[in-house]
A and B are shown apart, each in its own frame.
Chain A
Amino acid sequence: MKSVALHLGVLVLLVVAQFLLPSYHANNLSRILVLAVFAMGYNIAFGYSGLLSLGHALLFAAGMYGAGMLVHHAGTAALLALLIGTLAGGIMATLVGLLALRTAGVSFMIVTLMFAQVGFLTILYFNGVTGGDEGIALTAPERQFIGLDLTQDAPRFWVALVLFVIALAANLALVRSRFGRVMLAMRENEERSRMLGFNPYVVKLQILVISGLFSGAAGAAYALLFGYIGGSFASVQYSILPMLYVLLGGAATVLGPLLGAGLMFYLIDFASGLTSAYLMVVGAALVALVLFAPKGILGTIRERWLPWLP
């Protein structure tokens, strides 16, 4: 009950913020919501299940290019493109997982990183269709979403919010389900889980696919909402970012990804206004985090004060 109230409260806050904030920040909020969906996907693999992937940019890019190229080259309707982009994330996660999940730990990190680099280079190589480094700007007609004009701030926010709400509800339902418990079991003690009759390979593949669906949905939405697809979204930076969001907000918390994405977004925004070496500032913030709140903000709050926090 408390948790339902909390999540509804957060949603109300988001809606109010959209009306009160000036356009620049309201737009940032839309971006943060979409990035938070990506981070939720990452959190499902990393935070809840202990799968430390360095290749999630590939899943985000699968959604982004799946949706973006469909609307751009094939004139597909935006809603259908969003759905296909979501699936593309899941399918890509399946392909990566089938191979990468034969490894664990550091090898898993390296294999996922390599897959993502292959994806990144593939996008650059086929620049005729993908736009390569420069990317493709989606035109206004390509960004009409069930009658909503996504080039406008307000519709963009509402679509981002609806996507976020769906993701949030799915995330909550998942972690409260029996499967959610198995996810934690994978993270806590894989050998024990095997000796309870769970097939770790299959379970982890399922987790990765769910994570890929979230990431794909975020990538697809990002393309449609902000009208641009580009190779940089497949670069290693976009594998690291969701990890930072999750670590900052709190791994294995449902709202951590939103909080982490929001704070990190503004931290980068603020730091890059001060200095071109803004990554230094981000680095310093992370060191502070690891020293003072290794479980992230909500992880620490849950540990100290709110044990019921999902």
Chain B
Amino acid sequence: MAAVILSATGISKSFGGLCAVDGVDFALEAGEIHALIGPNGAGKTTFVSLLSGRITPDRGQITLGGEEITRLPAHQRVREGIAYTFQITSIYPGLSVFDNVALAAQAHGAKDLHAAVQAALQRVNMADLAAQQAATLSYGHQRLLEVAMGLALKPRVLILDEPTQGLASGEIAGFVALVRSLVPETTVLLIEHNMDVVMDLAQRITVLNHGQVLARGTATEIRANRAVQAAYLGVEDAEG
């Protein structure tokens, strides 16, 4: 078994009376693509926000590469190699695409900024849009810009929160190829509602429901899991 790069033990977070994440144990193995799935409101975003440090847990521990980081502020976790791309697109709307990515590249300490930005933009097929103002991009391109910023950070762990939301089907195929090309140098934790993408990419899957781990396993195991079908896949089928 590969080494664990990022792990959570007994992690919990409540908002008022609502327990959004409830005693979750989780281990991300170096080099894998790990999908985190679950119905709306299951606590996926809250859980990865705890990992990335955007919010602090009520209980539990988080370690990165064996070092405890539970109390480490978010910006330092980014510097330690955890990058997070927001579910709700969070870019710099007033700045150019170049500047958006350059901020990530320079945060990582890139010597040659132009080369680093071009490389990141090329991976999401947006090299020709560098001069454009980010606010004027299509929604799909804004999502990809968000991903490019994550890439420019050259993280050890890249957390993608519903990256394909709003992408056209043609763009999704390219995106799947991109994510696959990131491993094993980068470990990917992917929150995703598109089951085809999940089944295509993920070596392992963790299913959250009501803030708790409902199941974990390989794609095949999860597909066969009755509880998951009832709580999640069944719902999805009924909708689709």
Contacts and interface: CB of A to CB of B under 8 A. Distances in A.
Contacts of B92: 184-185, 188-189, 192
Nearest to A189: B92
A294 to B, nearest CB: 14
Given A181-B99, A184-B99, A196 B104 contact: yes
A197 B153 contact: yes
Contact of B75 (A188, A189, A197): A197
B107 A198 contact: yes
B54 A181 contact: no
A25 interface: no
A188 B73 contact: no
A195 B78 contact: yes
Chain A contact-residue range equals: 10 to 19
Contact of A199 (B54, B73, B149): B73
Contacts of A181: 95, 99, 102-103, 106
A191 B74 CA distance: 10
Contacts of B102: 178, 181
B99 A195 contact: no
A185 B102 CA distance: 11
Q: Which of A181, A192, A193, A195 has the most CB of B within 10 A?
A: A195
B164 interface: no
B90 interface: yes
Contact of B103 (A182, A191, A200): A182
Interface string B69-89: 000011110110001101000
A188 B95 contact: yes
Contacts, number: 64
Contact of A195 (B74, B108, B113): B74
Contacts of A182: 103, 106
A193 B103 contact: yes
Contacts of A196: 75, 78, 103-104, 107, 149, 153
A184 B95 contact: yes
B174 interface: no
Contacts of A193: 103
Contacts of B94: 184, 188
A189 B153 CA distance: 17
B52 interface: yes
Given A181-B99, A188-B95, A197 B90 contact: no
B184 interface: no
B196 to A, nearest CB: 28
B106 A199 contact: no
A269 B126 CA distance: 53
Interface in A159-206: 178, 181-182, 184-185, 188-189, 191-200
A195 B95 contact: no
A181 B94 CA distance: 12
Given A181-B95, A188-B93, A192-B86, 13 more contacts: A184-B92, A184-B95, A184-B99, A185-B92, A189-B90, A191-B90, A194-B78, A195-B52, A196-B75, A197-B75, A197-B78, A198-B107, A199-B73
Q: Which 7 A-B pairs have the closest CB atoms?
A: A197-B78, A188-B92, A197-B107, A196-B107, A197-B79, A192-B90, A199-B75
10 contacts: A181-B106, A182-B106, A191-B90, A192-B91, A194-B74, A194-B78, A197-B75, A197-B78, A198-B75, A199-B73
